[in-house]
Homo-oligomer: A and B are copies of this chain.
């Protein structure tokens, strides 16, 4: 599997998705999913406002028509038509005239980053407000301002997009990303783009051992709602999962481990990073619950799903995070294409990470009898080695990647050897063995 996604194609979709005002609910999300559905056939799950999900309640759906201020000089400013970060996300409707002084309590800026418009949300507390650069805020004259926030909070629903790519088994790999962020680039248009194109790559495979589940949902409330709906099923089937976020730039990779710490999900990700020629250096982080994204829900102690997260430059590791400065300049479509390939490499590693069982585990089989021993004089030592490793360690406990690690051979070599041994009837996938009375 060799992912090849043209940077131009990524850019084209980026440009179309960029201007849309997204939030955790609403039409912006649905329009974004519609565009992404050209790449990945997202089925919609609509969860009604007011639905209880564990400790949470799905909020009303946010409808935005327009929002701006008229300054004392009569000029329209902070218009969301210009930059959708100007409005505090989930602002309640408001129309009225307000003094510069009273307005100030509704303004959000970043003195430490005076040119950036910050990204502010207030999903669960009714508020309204405007975000602007600190420079602009300082320059706002005294006088009365006319506020126009033409929004609504209606009984609607929260939208989750889901696509399932079936494989030979029901064991699942989860790819989860989020589509609730308005116009920002690394965090977060990169995640949906990488995820959608990863789907296309996986779909192009002739066969898949595992089933791949892709989720495009609003951060936190979306994964909470999904877990309420299907957490039990996921717990049963999930082999490995990844939250795809902050994957847009060309910075070094960061891998945040699952809460298990040394799960197949982690081993596969680290293996892909190690063997992939595109990766120079990367950092590994133990699971942490304070900060991050939906892995916090997947890895909550009641589920403890094996979900990690492979990123480039992490949330909070860059100053532009959650501001208007996380824009197209911050990201790099060539690097994004590489990231897709690394994710594809993880999936390839997982695909090859079968655990096998010797049909008769006693002694070595006689390779030549099974046509497995190269004839005298043309011995490929590594090929024989790989078979020996497979035959000894296919004991129902070690996956291909682990045998590769033990042997010092590559996953490809071990995987090929396993295929040969399986064809010869010497090993079968774990659980396919019908031994009499063996434990």
Contact = CB atoms under 8 A, between A and B. Distances in A.
A300 B361 contact: yes
Interface stretch (A8-16, A35-43, A240-248, A289-297): A289-297
Contact of A376 (B55, B122, B231): B122
Contact of A297 (B358, B363, B389, B407): B363
Task: Categorize the interface residue count of chain A.
Answer: 35 or more
* Interface class of chain A by DSSP: loop
Contacts of A297: 363-364
A415 to B, nearest CB: 16
Given A122-B376, A289-B391, A388-B289, A220 B364 contact: yes
Interface in A115-141: 120, 122, 124-125, 127
Contacts of A56: 363, 366, 369
A392 interface: yes
A365 interface: yes
A385 B289 CA distance: 8
A205 B57 CA distance: 42
A307 to B, nearest CB: 13
A300 B392 CA distance: 6
Given A122-B376, A385-B290, A303 B369 contact: no
A368 B301 contact: no
A393 interface: yes
Interface in A210-260: 220, 223-224, 227-228, 231, 259
Contacts of A302: 358, 360-363
A350 interface: no
A318 to B, nearest CB: 17
Nearest to A387: B290
Contacts of A369: 55-56, 124
B363 A407 contact: no
A148 interface: no
A392 B291 CA distance: 12
Given A296-B392, A301-B393, A362 B290 contact: no
Contacts of A406: 286
Given A289-B389, A376-B122, A385-B291, A363 B55 contact: yes
Contact of A289 (B286, B368, B393): B393
Given A124-B369, A290-B385, A388-B289, A301 B361 contact: yes
Contacts of A55: 360, 363-366, 369
Interface in A354-409: 358, 360-366, 368-369, 376, 384-386, 388-389, 391-395, 406-407
Given A54-B365, A224-B363, 15 more contacts: A56-B366, A124-B369, A228-B363, A289-B364, A289-B393, A290-B388, A290-B407, A297-B363, A297-B364, A300-B364, A301-B358, A301-B393, A301-B395, A302-B358, A303-B362
Give 6 nearest A-B pairs by CB, closest first. A302-B361, A302-B362, A289-B392, A290-B385, A290-B388, A301-B395
Interface of A: 53-56, 120, 122, 124-125, 127, 220, 223-224, 227-228, 231, 259, 286, 288-291, 296-297, 299-303, 358, 360-366, 368-369, 376, 384-386, 388-389, 391-395, 406-407
